[in-house]
Protein backbone atom coordinates (compact mmCIF):
# COMPACT_ATOMS: atom_id res chain seq x y z
CA UNK A 1 0.00 0.00 0.00
CA UNK A 2 1.22 3.47 -0.88
CA UNK A 3 -0.65 6.61 0.09
CA UNK A 4 -0.24 10.33 0.37
CA UNK A 5 -2.26 13.37 1.34
CA UNK A 6 -3.25 15.47 -1.66
CA UNK A 7 -3.09 18.57 0.58
CA UNK A 8 -1.00 18.52 3.75
CA UNK A 9 -3.04 21.29 5.38
CA UNK A 10 -6.74 21.51 6.24
CA UNK A 11 -9.19 23.65 8.23
CA UNK A 12 -12.21 22.59 10.32
CA UNK A 13 -15.21 21.81 8.11
CA UNK A 14 -12.87 20.95 5.22
CA UNK A 15 -11.94 17.47 4.06
CA UNK A 16 -8.75 15.44 4.12
CA UNK A 17 -8.05 14.34 0.56
CA UNK A 18 -6.15 11.08 0.48
CA UNK A 19 -4.78 9.12 -2.48
CA UNK A 20 -4.27 5.38 -1.94
CA UNK A 21 -2.55 2.92 -4.25
CA UNK A 22 -2.79 -0.77 -3.40
CA UNK A 23 -0.73 -3.38 -5.25
CA UNK A 24 -2.10 -6.77 -4.22
CA UNK A 25 -0.63 -9.35 -6.65
CA UNK A 26 -1.51 -12.31 -4.39
CA UNK A 27 -4.98 -10.82 -3.96
CA UNK A 28 -4.86 -10.91 -0.17
CA UNK A 29 -8.13 -10.01 1.51
CA UNK A 30 -8.43 -6.53 3.06
CA UNK A 31 -11.46 -6.43 5.35
CA UNK A 32 -11.42 -2.64 5.73
CA UNK A 33 -9.23 0.41 6.28
CA UNK A 34 -10.09 2.48 9.32
CA UNK A 35 -9.06 6.17 9.28
CA UNK A 36 -8.50 7.95 12.59
CA UNK A 37 -7.86 11.71 12.79
CA UNK A 38 -6.19 12.53 16.10
CA UNK A 39 -5.21 15.70 17.93
CA UNK A 40 -2.06 15.52 20.08
CA UNK A 41 -1.47 18.16 22.78
CA UNK A 42 1.57 18.68 24.95
CA UNK A 43 1.50 21.43 27.54
CA UNK A 44 4.65 21.39 29.60
CA UNK A 45 5.12 17.86 30.92
CA UNK A 46 1.48 16.87 30.26
CA UNK A 47 0.44 15.00 27.11
CA UNK A 48 -3.11 14.43 25.93
CA UNK A 49 -4.66 12.89 22.83
CA UNK A 50 -8.19 13.28 21.43
CA UNK A 51 -9.75 11.44 18.52
CA UNK A 52 -11.46 13.97 16.26
CA UNK A 53 -13.08 11.32 14.06
CA UNK A 54 -12.81 7.65 13.22
CA UNK A 55 -14.35 6.22 10.07
CA UNK A 56 -13.86 3.50 7.50
CA UNK A 57 -12.32 4.56 4.20
CA UNK A 58 -15.20 4.27 1.72
CA UNK A 59 -15.17 1.64 -1.04
CA UNK A 60 -12.49 -0.49 0.60
CA UNK A 61 -14.53 -3.10 2.38
CA UNK A 62 -13.88 -6.76 1.64
CA UNK A 63 -11.29 -5.81 -0.98
CA UNK A 64 -9.46 -8.61 -2.77
CA UNK A 65 -8.60 -7.22 -6.20
CA UNK A 66 -5.06 -7.13 -7.62
CA UNK A 67 -4.73 -3.33 -7.53
CA UNK A 68 -6.50 -0.09 -6.68
CA UNK A 69 -5.72 3.58 -7.28
CA UNK A 70 -8.24 6.00 -5.88
CA UNK A 71 -8.61 9.35 -4.12
CA UNK A 72 -10.82 9.59 -1.04
CA UNK A 73 -12.23 12.54 0.86
CA UNK A 74 -12.64 12.27 4.62
CA UNK A 75 -14.76 15.13 6.02
CA UNK A 76 -13.47 17.00 9.08
CA UNK A 77 -16.17 18.11 11.50
CA UNK A 78 -16.89 21.84 11.76
CA UNK A 79 -15.75 22.03 15.38
CA UNK A 80 -13.18 24.30 16.92
CA UNK A 81 -9.72 22.84 16.38
CA UNK A 82 -6.70 24.82 17.53
CA UNK A 83 -4.21 25.18 14.68
CA UNK A 84 -1.05 23.12 14.49
CA UNK A 85 1.34 25.01 16.70
CA UNK A 86 4.64 24.71 18.56
CA UNK A 87 5.77 27.29 21.10
CA UNK A 88 8.46 27.09 23.78
CA UNK A 89 9.31 29.62 26.45
CA UNK A 90 12.12 29.62 28.97
CA UNK A 91 10.98 29.43 32.59
CA UNK A 92 12.82 29.01 35.90
CA UNK A 93 12.46 25.22 35.61
CA UNK A 94 13.76 25.08 32.02
CA UNK A 95 11.94 25.20 28.69
CA UNK A 96 8.15 25.02 28.85
CA UNK A 97 6.31 24.13 25.67
CA UNK A 98 2.89 24.10 24.13
CA UNK A 99 2.63 21.78 21.14
CA UNK A 100 -0.54 20.97 19.17
CA UNK A 101 -0.34 18.65 16.17
CA UNK A 102 -2.54 16.23 14.25
CA UNK A 103 -2.16 12.86 12.59
CA UNK A 104 -4.24 10.73 10.25
CA UNK A 105 -3.72 7.01 10.89
CA UNK A 106 -4.86 4.35 8.44
CA UNK A 107 -5.34 1.01 10.19
CA UNK A 108 -5.47 -1.73 7.54
CA UNK A 109 -7.46 -4.74 8.75
CA UNK A 110 -6.69 -7.89 6.76
CA UNK A 111 -7.70 -11.52 6.90
CA UNK A 112 -5.15 -13.66 8.70
CA UNK A 113 -3.02 -13.49 11.81
CA UNK A 114 -0.42 -10.76 12.32
CA UNK A 115 -1.03 -9.16 8.93
CA UNK A 116 -2.75 -5.92 9.99
CA UNK A 117 -0.67 -2.74 9.73
CA UNK A 118 -0.90 1.01 10.31
CA UNK A 119 0.29 4.03 8.34
CA UNK A 120 0.39 7.48 9.95
CA UNK A 121 0.48 10.85 8.17
CA UNK A 122 1.08 14.25 9.81
CA UNK A 123 -1.67 16.77 8.99
CA UNK A 124 -1.40 20.54 9.43
CA UNK A 125 -4.58 22.21 10.71
CA UNK A 126 -4.91 25.92 10.01
CA UNK A 127 -7.45 28.61 10.79
CA UNK A 128 -8.37 29.92 7.33
CA UNK A 129 -8.48 28.19 3.95
CA UNK A 130 -5.93 29.31 1.40
CA UNK A 131 -7.61 30.05 -1.87
CA UNK A 132 -4.53 30.15 -4.08
CA UNK A 133 -6.41 30.44 -7.35
CA UNK A 134 -8.62 33.27 -6.08
CA UNK A 135 -5.63 35.11 -4.62
CA UNK A 136 -3.78 34.89 -7.91
CA UNK A 137 -6.82 36.16 -9.82
CA UNK A 138 -7.37 39.09 -7.43
CA UNK A 139 -3.79 40.34 -7.50
CA UNK A 140 -3.12 42.87 -10.25
CA UNK A 141 -0.45 41.96 -12.76
CA UNK A 142 2.62 44.10 -12.23
CA UNK A 143 4.74 45.09 -15.21
CA UNK A 144 8.11 43.42 -15.53
CA UNK A 145 10.96 45.64 -14.47
CA UNK A 146 14.59 44.81 -15.12
CA UNK A 147 16.81 46.30 -12.47
CA UNK A 148 20.55 45.90 -12.27
CA UNK A 149 22.62 46.93 -9.33
CA UNK A 150 26.07 46.27 -8.00
CA UNK A 151 26.72 44.91 -4.56
CA UNK A 152 29.83 46.29 -2.94
CA UNK A 153 32.30 43.58 -1.98
CA UNK A 154 33.42 43.78 1.60
CA UNK A 155 37.17 43.57 1.92
CA UNK A 156 39.84 44.34 4.44
CA UNK A 157 42.25 47.14 3.63
CA UNK A 158 45.34 46.05 1.76
CA UNK A 159 48.28 45.87 4.17
CA UNK A 160 51.85 45.80 2.99
CA UNK A 161 54.37 43.89 5.01
CA UNK A 162 58.10 44.54 4.83
CA UNK A 163 59.17 41.06 5.79
CA UNK A 164 57.81 37.55 5.35
CA UNK A 165 56.62 35.52 8.32
CA UNK A 166 59.18 33.13 9.80
CA UNK A 167 59.47 29.60 8.41
CA UNK A 168 58.27 26.59 10.33
CA UNK A 169 61.80 25.21 10.69
CA UNK A 170 63.10 28.40 12.25
CA UNK A 171 60.33 28.39 14.88
CA UNK A 172 60.43 24.65 15.60
CA UNK A 173 64.20 24.53 16.14
CA UNK A 174 64.43 27.64 18.32
CA UNK A 175 64.50 26.75 22.00
CA UNK A 176 62.75 29.04 24.40
CA UNK A 177 64.36 29.54 27.78
Q: pLDDT per residue over 103-139, tens digit each? A: 999 998 888 777 788 999 999 999 877 655 444 444 5
On the question of pLDDT at 173 being above 80, the answer is: no
pLDDT band at 26 (very low <50, low <70, confident <90, very high): confident
More confident residue, 144 or 1: 1
Q: What is the mean pLDDT of residues 20-40?
A: 89
On the question of pLDDT at 174 being above 70, the answer is: no
Percentage, residues of the chain above pLDDT 70? 75
On the question of pLDDT at 17 being above 50, the answer is: yes
> Topology of domain 2-128, per CATH?
Immunoglobulin-like (2.60.40)
- For the chain, domain boundaries: 2-128
The predicted structure's pLDDT at residue 51: 95
Q: State the Cα–Cα distance between residues 20 and 4, nearest whole angstrom.
A: 7
Burial of 123 (0-12, 13-18, 19+ CB in 10 A): buried
Amino acid sequence: MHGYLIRGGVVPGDKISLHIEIQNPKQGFIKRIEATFTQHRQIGPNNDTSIIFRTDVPDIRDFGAASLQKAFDLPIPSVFLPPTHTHYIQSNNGPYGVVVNYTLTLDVKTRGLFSDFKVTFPVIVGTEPMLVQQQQMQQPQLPEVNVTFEMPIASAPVMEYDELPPSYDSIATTEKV
